[in-house]
Structure 1
Amino acid sequence: MSRHLTLSIVSSVPYSNLNRDDIGTPKRATIGGSLRALHSSQSIKRGIRVAYENASLDYSVRSGSGFLSEDVVAKALEIQPDADEKALTKEAKKIIGSLTKKDKNEKESDSERSSWLSEEELTTAAYTALGRTDETFIEDGRTGSLAIAAFGRMFANAPSKNTEAALSVSPGVTTHPAIIETDYFSTVDDIKERNCESGATYLGVAQYTNGIFYRTVSIDREQLKKSWAGFGQEDSKENLRQLITAILYGMPRGKENSTAPYVQPALVLAEEQQYRTAYDFETPVKNGAEGGYLGATIDELAQQYAAARRFDPDNFGPVESLTGTYTNLDGKFGDLKAVSRKEFVENIVEWICQ
């Protein structure tokens, strides 16, 4: 039985700018000689984490060390309101600073190295700052936060505390050439309009794109069991269900309120694998006879699915599952038949827990 399971996700993302560069243009890459729209893996991981934590209430905090120190102080004062805030602040900075490495010319108060801690770890740090426990507030290589265990973290000044990521996340890339559209917009001035005057408060341009995006998430269940301290606890399966659901729904969040672009995935294919592999669309798919790239993308993916098994059938384990909103999935991927989202998630959770 293999330790890896890869999810291939195909989504039709409408007119949007979910992930943009420093000048506001949708991220893109040239692949196979054609321009493709791109969602970075970092933006996808952020979307998954936010979706998971909002659903599960298993929160974590990622911030600069100075702000995390303030969080520790605030929690300590909740525990013991009459504590000396000045002394707590000094102790909290020392605790958080032990994780981060400063430049040799950097003052302690200037250290803003990013760290990522679970709520439980922050609370333990607060008790430590109060002198109520000498317990190490971060386990070596482990965390109670499923999000941190999934995506990993690094502490420059405390490498033994690093948490190895159990999930590998690819960028999302369109399977076909993409076009960056420019939209001219204006902000109506209500008072000018009321006075029958012309002119807007603001004039500007924004850029958008759309397309069929392919992305993958690979789960290393053995690493997850090592990295996540919550594995096997009473609510661990429910947290895993929320994480897998967040992988299906979690997307980058740029300009989300002005475009509302989120749709359910057209296809999600899960494959147990000895060696983690994905599929590729180096040759851009062509639109179908009736227009659109979705059908052609799924057909191409089905061909690559069959080719991968002709090349190395031993790479694939017995666990497979298929879901999605596309209407003609049955029979395209071997003998697989599409199941509901709930059943698909349950299949993945049971595989992780074996």
Structure 2
Amino acid sequence: MTTFLQLHLLTFVPPANLNRDDTGAPKTAIVGGEPRLRLSSQSLKRAWRTSTVFETAMAGHLGSRTRRFGEEVQKHLLDQGIAAEKAQEVTRKVITVFGKAEDEKDEKKALYTRQLAFISPEEKQAAFQLADKLAAGEAVDEKKFPQDVLKRADTAVDIAMFGRMLADNPDFNREAAVQVAHAITTHRVVVEDDYYTAVDDLNRGEEDAGAGFVGNAGYGSGVFYLYLCIDKNQLVKNLGGDEALAASAVAALTEAAAKVLPGGKQNSFAAHGRAAFILAEKGSEQPRTLAGAFARPVKAEDALQASVTALLDLRGKFAKAYGEGDMTHAIMDFETGQGSLAEIIAFVTDGKA
């Protein structure tokens, strides 16, 4: 029986531009006929897996999403005294495991793959070993390169959580164990523009007293609702059955989701918010988001508390209509002083983190 872990978080974010669109403005969405600020799931996942919180907790168990792995393979070979020309030839063969190599005529990208590849620590070491064999002149069947390097399960928790796709070797794709929704504000938000100037410190005003630079930057503020769902069984499977590592990964993800926001324009806004409310749920019941609590935008002076009330109200209505089955829950609420992040983590990990 599959166990699902669901996290619902409410986080107040002051004026910020954490996740920009192609014009540089904050990303938005129309929900319930009203404009909302939005943080894409991709921006959230990257912020979490590259955060100090996650990297400290999961050191040695993180993959790399890159096109440039060939540079590491080449360096590995050069450090062993392999001639540069031979090292490049071998490297271009090895990286085809992860994707098609760029044109060799492009000197700057000759060791790049055309697609980003998510590569685990174990696969890196296997690639280095394959490179060593090829450089030593050993006979290696090129058709077996993928089986020699790629893994269907290993200890890379970020790959286990967020999955990967290898277009040229789909047998080694990973099904993501974690689903992350786009975060949206619980209420209507209109993006504003900040008109700013940069002063030339050496301009004495003798000829031109104006600014050295003038610009506009969009921003917005609000209470964000974030939902994520973890398939615990899939996570353990992706990690080769290592339940202890899976528990540590869930703990790190929960802490990161509560503490870490995307890094867009943070130097300008320092909008380092933390979740003020967390609802964690655990059980085999079919997952469901509680975003519907905000289909009608919250309209209240205290948007945060009104959002908590709306979320718990919808949860209660779902429980009444569908029943809760074996689902249990835990809450952390700043306003009432109920619970703590440590208690939420203990709940989602069964105290094993």
Aligning the two structures, in what range does the TM-score lie when normalised by the shorter sequence?
A: 0.7 to 0.9
- The answer to whether the 8 Å contact 1:92/1:125 transfers is no
Structure 2: tracts of 5 or more residues without a match: 141-146
User: Which residue, 246, 255, 258 being the options, matches 2:268?
Assistant: 258
Q: Paired residue for 2:150?
A: 138
Structure 1: tracts of 5 or more residues without a match: 330-337
Label 1:123 to 1:263 Cα distance change in 2 as closer, same or farther (>3 A): same
Label 1:321 to 1:69 Cα distance change in 2 as closer, same or farther (>3 A): same
Q: After TM superposition, give the deviation of residue 138 of structure 1 in Å.
A: 1.9
Q: Paired residue for 2:21?
A: 21
CA offset digits 1:152-191 (Å, max 9, x no partner): 0000010111111000000000111001010011111111
Q: Report the 3-state secondary structure (helix = DSSP H, G, I; strand = E; otherwise coil) of the residue aligned with 1:296.
A: helix
The alignment status of 1:3 with 2:3, answered yes or no, reads: yes
User: Structure 1: which amino acid aligns with 2:10?
Assistant: V
- Structure 1's consecutive aligned runs of 4 or more residues displaced over 6 angstroms after TM superposition are 132-135, 194-197
CA offset digits 1:61-80 (Å, max 9, x no partner): 2112xx111122223444xx
User: Structure 2: which amino acid aligns with 1:250?
Assistant: V
The alignment status of 1:93 with 2:96, answered yes or no, reads: no
Aligned length: 333
CA offset digits 1:60-116 (Å, max 9, x no partner): 22112xx111122223444xx21234323222222221332589xx99958521111
1:27-42 paired onto structure 2 within 5 Å = 27-42=27-42
* Aligned counterparts of 1:101 and 1:313: Cα–Cα separation in 2: 50
- The answer to whether the 8 Å contact 1:15/1:259 transfers is yes
1:132-281 paired onto structure 2 within 5 Å = 136-140=148-152, 142-193=153-204, 198-229=209-240, 231-232=242-243, 237-273=247-283, 274-279=285-290, 280=292, 281=294
User: Structure 2: which amino acid aligns with 1:26?
Assistant: P
The alignment status of 1:74 with 2:75, answered yes or no, reads: yes
* Aligned counterparts of 2:21 and 2:49: Cα–Cα separation in 1: 21
* Aligned counterparts of 1:36 and 1:139: Cα–Cα separation in 2: 41
The alignment status of 1:303 with 2:313, answered yes or no, reads: yes
TM-score if structure 2 supplies the norm length? 0.86
CA offset digits 1:271-321 (Å, max 9, x no partner): 12421101121111111xxx231111111011101101001114x424311
Q: Report the 3-state secondary structure (helix = DSSP H, G, I; strand = E; otherwise coil) of the residue aligned with 2:6.
A: strand
Range with greater deviation from structure 2 (246-255 or 53-62): 53-62
Q: Report the 3-state secondary structure (helix = DSSP H, G, I; strand = E; otherwise coil) of the residue aligned with 1:92.
A: helix
What root-mean-square deviation, in Å, do the aligned CA atoms of Structure 1 and Structure 2 show? 2.8
Q: Report the 3-state secondary structure (helix = DSSP H, G, I; strand = E; otherwise coil) of the residue aligned with 2:226.
A: strand
Q: Paired residue for 2:120?
A: 118
Range with greater deviation from structure 2 (184-193 or 298-307): 184-193
- The answer to whether the 8 Å contact 2:247/2:349 transfers is yes
Q: Paired residue for 1:335?
A: none
Q: Paired residue for 2:336?
A: 328
- The answer to whether the 8 Å contact 1:174/1:212 transfers is yes
Range with greater deviation from structure 2 (87-96 or 219-228): 87-96
* Aligned counterparts of 1:118 and 1:167: Cα–Cα separation in 2: 17
